[in-house]
Structure formats: structure tokens, C-alpha cells
Amino acid sequence: MKRAAKQRLPLLILAGTVALALAAPASSRAAPRDCEVPPELLAISVKLPHLAERLHAKQPVNIVAIGGASTKGAAAGAPDLAYPHRLQVALAAFYPEVPINVVNKGVPRQSTQQMVQRFPTDVIAEDPILVVWEAGISDAVRGVEIDDFAAALQAGLDEMKNRAIDILLVDMQFSRRTSAVIDFEQYLNTIHRIGDVDEVYVFPRFAMMRYWSEQNMFNFDEVAEDERARLAAKVYDCIGKKLAEAIHTAVR
Amino acid sequence: MPEPSTPREPRDLRLDFFRGVSLIFIFIDHVPQNFLSYFTLQAVAFYDAAEVFIFISGFTAALVYGRRLASKGALYASAQVLRRAWQLYVAHIFLFVLFVAEVSYTAIAFKNPMYNDEMRVADFLDEPHIAVIKALMLEFQPTFLDILPLYIVMLLIFPAILLGMQRHWLLVLVASATLYVVVQVFDISVPAYPEGHVWYFNPLAWQFLFVAGAVLGNRAAHGASFASLLRWAYPVALAVFAATLVVKTSWTIHGLYESFPAWFLKALWPVNKNNLSPLRLIPFFALVLLVATHVPRDARFLGSMAARPLVLCGQQSLEIFCLGILLSALGHFILSEYTSAIAMQLVVNVAGIAVMCLTAKMIDWYKAMDRMPILQPAAPRSGDGVQR
């Protein structure tokens, strides 16, 4: 296997800020296209061999999205609007002849350790070929000890590897406000470092949402209260689309 | 065993200079996602500025309060140490109030439903009556409020260290090292608030670094010569230093360019900071040894104009330490509230470092004025002469 997903976070952030610095004069004139991110944020060097096999054989694909509140997606108002379902829709567009199903196993306010404990019932029992694991927000919010966080992630990844199930990680959400009171940095570094060490792709949701925020896309401060759910749904849709693009690249 | 009091030597500027550097690094490292942090110790070493700061603080404390102990007695020296601890405690409470203000503001002004569920967990305002008391007891250590409690505890135990060293330095060093080893072997941590949290800087582990600094300072003050130790340990220290430098630097470069290999990453990572892993401690001691060998006490650059701001920061370490934490919290807020483009990061860093250096200069000036004897108003006009 080629050298795979590296700890790319600092680079991503650097790339994001450089891109922003370059794009800043232009962005005031032309609004960026929906969901657009700098290409560096979608660079992916790992493969998802088991998923690729299924897709190429045109066999049904079952994907489990396990995670916290942002996986459940209650902020958007309906399960169909959460990112796992948007991912299913976007993947179906890439592979129209393959039946693809994404199961949403998001449970709000769970630490990574608690998610791992759900693996037997919520992941293994669903018999997935790919697991999308969104982790780290609750750990950062609660300030879970960083080594415990790393150990929990490692345990989950090891279990999937042993069962020959492909897995990818999704890092935290970004919001200017929360990042002022929640210290995400060391959890972000840890999740990307683990992905690096284990050759597991980490979808850089944090860096993407940060880029969007700096482009002034999805500005929650400027919309009326009843519009906010619609805006959240837009963000989830973009996350689903970008995730589908990354997966599409990883199985080529 | 009364020790002969040594004549006061000129101040060892190396301590001030390197402590000043560590304070600047601590500030930079605490501004999140700051590209300048690629140029601080943590990018090339398993330890970071926190080790430097705690070690030098122990060393200087032994020098300063050792002198007080010799000249004015144990009670006075202890009272002085506790007064410093009290100042730090007040600074900690001040920072806590700022943190509360920031969280309260965020909780009210927050309009993004995507974080509703998580924010409710963070919301310690659910039980402020407990959170405030836990903060007063140093058990509540949110985000950037985790270093001061360690420093406070170190000062609280320092009178005991001081008196112990007066009996015999080995007594203190052995007790401290034993505790450190026990913490490593049994993986002991100190619980904090809320339930399930631990002290980020485990005082049971980090005390060893502080005590090691204090014992070395105590020995140095009593004229102990480390020449033979430096000579035989030098090759070992050099090897450890070089090996860890290469390994950690490869990790950092690898983080930037994934094609660059990260040596021993899988075997060594993560390096535990909470309990001051030996992987941090041993290379740090190697660094101390190398610096002690290669940077003589009278090194020319220590007296230069360029080094002056750093020396001043190191001399006013207590104030600048607190200020640095405050400034990094402010920098964090500015970068997340407005933009974190590289230009802005640079502005925040440069402004923060400038404020630290200027404040150090101001405190130095103020203290110098304070020490100046009050002139007799005998000749009021000739005293403040306009002519030069």
C-alpha cells in the first residue's frame, strides 16, 4: 500500500489561509460557488479497497455513519437533511447502478469511548462495508483526557481493521464562536495523527467549514431564526457532497 | 547543619534569558493554529517551553529564596514564597472571570443551531454555584487555565522543599524522584472538575522537574561544581538530544509534507504531557546539560541589546507569564472572531510579544524607581537638571 493519509491538518489550515489570502480580493466581487473548497482540502491518498470491490462488482453497498449530534443532524430539522443521507444521495449520483444505503447512527453528546461501546450493536450488526466515523466534538467540549481520546479512536479503528471493514474518520465542525471557548486544537491534531499512523483517511470537515466561514458562506449571524435550520441543511448537504467526492477518489 | 552563606554573585543572565524565551514560546503555542508555533521548541523536541519554564522557575526559586532563608530565616522566606503563590492565585481567578465572560457572551450570542447539543454540555452555567467553587479550589481548569494551577501548587510546596534542602538536598531529590516514578508506573492522575477530568499538568509528576531545578539551583548556590558530571554525561546528552531532535523534526516536516517520512511515529506517539513522560523529561535534561556546557555564564550575547527584552521578560517572569496567558486568550478570541489569515496571525503574535516586552520593561523601570532612595529636597533645582 502506498504511504497514506498523513497528518495533514496544519498543511490544510495553512493552505486554507493562503487560499483565503489570495482569494480575499476576488471574493468580494464574485461569490464562491456552493460547497467549493480549495483542492488541497480534498486531497486523498488512501484507498478503500473493500468498498471499491463492491462498487466495481456493482453489489449493494451498506455504509454506517456513526457519530454525534452533527451526524444525527437534528439542527437541519429532518433525518433526510443530515449529512449521512446527503452522502447517500451524492454517492448514488456517482454510482447510479449500485444500490447504496447509508445508515445514520448519530447520537448526540457521546464521547468517542461511548461510540466505540456502541460498535457491536450500531455498526457490526448493520454489516457495513464502509464506516464513516465522526468523532471528537464531545471529547473536546468535555475536555476528555487526550490519551483516552486517542486510545478510544485506536480501539475503534483496530476493530474495523480486524473485521475487514473500510473506515474513514470525520473531524470536528468549525464555528468561529465555539472555537473561542472550546479548545479543539489538540483533539484535531490527535485525530489527524491517528489517521496518519493508521493510514486512515480523515475528512477535514473542520478546515472546510473554516474555509467557508472565512468566505462568509453560511453566516448564521445574518439570518433570521427560522432560516437557520435551512442554512444548517445546506452545510450538511455540502459535507455530504464533499464526502462523496473524497470516497469517489478513494475507490478509483 | 548551617550552611555558609555565599557572597551574592552577579545575576546569572542565562536563567533570565531562557526563561524569557520560554515565556514568548508559551504565548505563541497558546494561540491556536498559529503558524509561528512551527518555530518554537515543540516543533523540534518532545518537550516544550513549559518544561523550560518550570525547571528554571525551580532553579531561580532555590537561588532567591535560599538567600532569604540564609539571611532572614525560614519564616520570612516561606512568607515570601506564599505571597508569590497568592499573587498567582489572584491572577488565576482574574483569568477565570474572563473565561466566564467569554463563555457567557458566546452562549447568548450564538446563533448556529449546528452546535446546540454540544454547547449545552460545555455550558457550565448549568451549575455555576459549583463551577465557581471548583475554580476557587483550582479544580476547574477550562482551556487556557491549566498552567497557573501547577505553578501555584509548586510555590505552595516550595517552603517544604527549601527546608528539606537545608537538611540535605538528596533527601528532597530522592523523595521527589520516587513520587515521579510511582506516578509513571501506576499512571496516577489528579482528578479535576467536572467529573472525569484530570489536572492537565499533573502536579505529582511535574513537581519532579521543579524540584530537580531547585536542587540544582541549591547546589550551584553552594558552589558545587558540575564539571565532572558535565564531562562524562556530555556524549550521552549529545546523542539523546540529536536523536530526539531528528525524530521530532521529521514528525513536524511530515505534518507539512506527507511524503517526508516520520521516523518512529508509530512506536513513540503519543508522548504523554499530563504526566510528563520520560520521553519528554530525559531529552529535556539532555538539553539542560548541553546549554550549561555551551552557553557560558558570561556569554557575550546575553548582555546585547537584542537579548535585553527577553532577559527583562525572564526577570519579571511572574507578571509576564500571567500576561502571556491573558494575551494568548485575547489573540485566540481575535483570530476566531475576525479572521485567522496569516497576516492577522503575524499581527497578533508581534503585538502580543511587543506588549510582553514593553510591560517587562515598564515593570523593570518601576521597580528600579521603587528601589531608588528618596532624595533629600535640599537642592530642588539642581536635582532635575535640564542640561546634560
Residue A32 scores a pLDDT above 60? no
Cβ distance B269 to A6 less than 8 Å, yes or no, reads: no
Report how far residue A101's alpha carbon sits from residue B154's, in angstroms, rounded to the nearest whole number: 57
| Span of A50-64, A217-231, B203-217 with lowest mean pLDDT | A217-231
pLDDT value of position B100: 79
pLDDT value of position B315: 94
DSSP assignment of B139-151: -B--TT-SHHHHH
Interface probe with A: pick from B95, B96, B112, most Cβ of A within 10 Å: B112
pLDDT value of position B378: 59
Distances (CA, A) of A113 to A146, A185, A203, B176, B189: 12, 19, 20, 34, 19
- Bigger pLDDT: B13 vs B11: B13
Question: Chain B contacts of A146, Cβ < 8 Å?
Answer: 270, 273-274
**pLDDT tens for each residue of B355-369:** 999 999 999 999 999
Share of chain A above pLDDT 90, in %: 60
Q: What is the mean pLDDT of residues B81-105?
A: 86
Residue A54 scores a pLDDT above 90? yes
State the average pLDDT for chain A.
Answer: 86
Residue B158 scores a pLDDT above 50? yes
Three-state DSSP at B198 gives strand
Q: Are A35 and A74 in contact (CB under 8 A)?
A: no
Under the banding of pLDDT at 50, 70 and 90, the label for residue B216 is very high
The answer for A 56-115 residues in CB contact with B (under 8 A) is 68-70, 74-75, 108-109
pTM for the full predicted model? 0.82
CB contacts < 8 A, A to B, total 151
- The distance of B46 to chain A (nearest Cα, Å) reads 15
pLDDT value of position A121: 95
A58: left (phi over 0), alpha (psi -120 to 50) or beta: left
Cβ distance A183 to B144 less than 8 Å, yes or no, reads: yes
**Residue pointed to by grid coordinates 479497497:** A49
Q: Are B320 and B313 in contact (CB under 8 A)?
A: yes
Q: Are B17 and B310 in contact (CB under 8 A)?
A: yes
pLDDT value of position A1: 36
Q: What is the mean pLDDT of residues A14-24?
A: 50
Q: What is the mean pLDDT of residues A42-68?
A: 94
Counting other chains too, the contacts that A159-165 makes at CB distance below 8 Å and 24 or more residues apart are A159/A116, A159/A119, A160/A123, A160/A131, A161/A198, A163/A124, A164/A50, A165/A50, A165/A123, A165/A128, A165/A129, A165/A130, A165/A131
State the average pLDDT for chain B.
Answer: 87
**pLDDT tens for each residue of A174-190:** 887 777 677 788 899 99
Under the banding of pLDDT at 50, 70 and 90, the label for residue B50 is very high
pLDDT value of position B116: 72
Helix (H), strand (E) at residue B27: helix B13-30
Residue A236 scores a pLDDT above 70? yes
Q: Per the CATH hierarchy, to which homologous superfamily does domain A9-21+35-250 belong?
A: SGNH hydrolase (3.40.50.1110)
Q: What is the mean pLDDT of residues A104-109?
A: 93
Helix (H), strand (E) at residue B333: helix B317-337
Q: What is the mean pLDDT of residues B221-243?
A: 91
Name the residue among B111, B114, B122 with its Cβ closest to that of A141.
B122
Q: What is the mean pLDDT of residues A137-141?
A: 87
Report how far residue A239's alpha carbon sits from residue B241's, in angstroms, rounded to the nearest whole number: 44
Distances (CA, A) of A76 to A71, A85, A229, B96, B362: 11, 12, 5, 34, 53
pLDDT value of position A16: 53
A166-170: strand order across its sheet: A100-106, A61-67, A130-134, A166-170, A202-203
- Chain A's closest residue to B113, CA to CA, is A75
Report how far residue A134's alpha carbon sits from residue A173's, in angstroms, rounded to the nearest whole number: 10
Three-state DSSP at B59 gives helix
| Span of A66-75, B3-12, B150-159, B328-337 with lowest mean pLDDT | B3-12
Residue B112 scores a pLDDT above 80? no
**Residue pointed to by grid coordinates 461501546:** A117
pLDDT value of position B127: 76
DSSP assignment of chain A: --------HHHHHHHHHHHHHHHHHHHTTSPPPTT---GGGG------HHHHHHHHTT--EEEEEEESHHHHTGGGSSGGGSHHHHHHHHHHHH-TTS-EEEEEEE-TT--HHHHHHHIIIIIGGG--SEEEEE-SHHHHHHT--HHHHHHHHHHHHHHHHHTT-EEEEE-----HHHHHHS--HHHHHHHHHHHHHHT--EE-HHHHHHHHHHTT-S-GGGS-GGGHHHHHHHHHHHHHHHHHHHHHHHT-
Q: Are A129 and A54 in contact (CB under 8 A)?
A: yes
Under the banding of pLDDT at 50, 70 and 90, the label for residue A227 is confident
- Chain B's closest residue to A176, CA to CA, is B336
Residue A172 scores a pLDDT above 90? yes
Cβ distance A69 to B144 less than 8 Å, yes or no, reads: no
**pLDDT tens for each residue of A140-159:** 887 788 888 999 999 999 99
Given CB atoms, is A229 within the 8 Å cutoff of chain B? yes
- Cell of residue A115, nine digits: 461510540
* Domain layout of chain A by residue ranges: 9-21+35-250
Residue B106 scores a pLDDT above 80? no
Residue B246 scores a pLDDT above 80? yes
Q: What is the mean pLDDT of residues A126-139?
A: 95
Q: Are A171 and A136 in contact (CB under 8 A)?
A: yes
pLDDT value of position A13: 54
Cβ distance B114 to A235 less than 8 Å, yes or no, reads: yes
Residue B125 scores a pLDDT above 80? no
- Cell of residue B100, nine digits: 466566564
Radius of gyration of chain B from its Cα atoms, rounded to whole angstroms: 23
**Residue pointed to by grid coordinates 528600579:** B368
- Chain B's closest residue to A136, CA to CA, is B118
